[in-house]
Amino acid sequence: MSKSNKPYSQPTLLRTESKQEWSELVRELMEEIQPQSRIEREYVNDIAHLMWEIMRYRRFKATMINNGFRHALKTTLRSIFMISHFLPGIEAADELTEQWFFDQKAKERVSGLLEEAGLDEMAIEAEALALRFTEIEKIDRSLASAEVRRDKALRALGLYQESFARKVQQSTERLLTADTPPGISPSSSMN
Q: Are 146 and 54 within 8 A, CB to CB?
A: yes
Strands (E), 46-180: none
pLDDT band at 3 (very low <50, low <70, confident <90, very high): very low
Average pLDDT on 20-35 reads: 93
What pLDDT score was predicted for residue 48? 94
CA angle 43, 148, 55 (to 5 degrees): 80
Task: Give me Rg for the CA atoms of the chain.
Answer: 30
* The residue count for the chain: 191
What pLDDT score was predicted for residue 125? 93
Q: What's the CA gap between 32 and 149, in Å, rounded?
A: 19
Q: Are 96 and 77 within 8 A, CB to CB?
A: yes
| Residue 189 pLDDT exceeds 80 | no
Under DSSP, the state recorded for 11 is: -
Specify the amino acid at residue 39. I
Give residue-wise pLDDT tens across range 118-164.
999 999 999 999 999 999 999 999 999 999 999 999 999 999 989 88
Q: What's the CA gap between 46 and 80, in Å, rounded?
A: 50
Give residue-wise pLDDT tens across range 87-103.
576 888 899 999 999 99
Q: What's the CA gap between 66 and 70, in Å, rounded?
A: 8
Higher local confidence (pLDDT), 183 or 19: 19
Integer distance in angstroms from the first to the last C-alpha of the chain?
Answer: 49
Ranking 50-64, 76-90, 96-110 by mean pLDDT, the lowest is 76-90
What pLDDT score was predicted for residue 8? 64
Exposed/middle/buried for residue 180 (C-beta within 10 Å: 0-12, 13-18, 19+):
exposed
| Residue 178 pLDDT exceeds 80 | no
Residues 6+ apart with CB under 8 A from 36: none
* Mean pLDDT value across the chain: 87
What pLDDT score was predicted for residue 177? 83
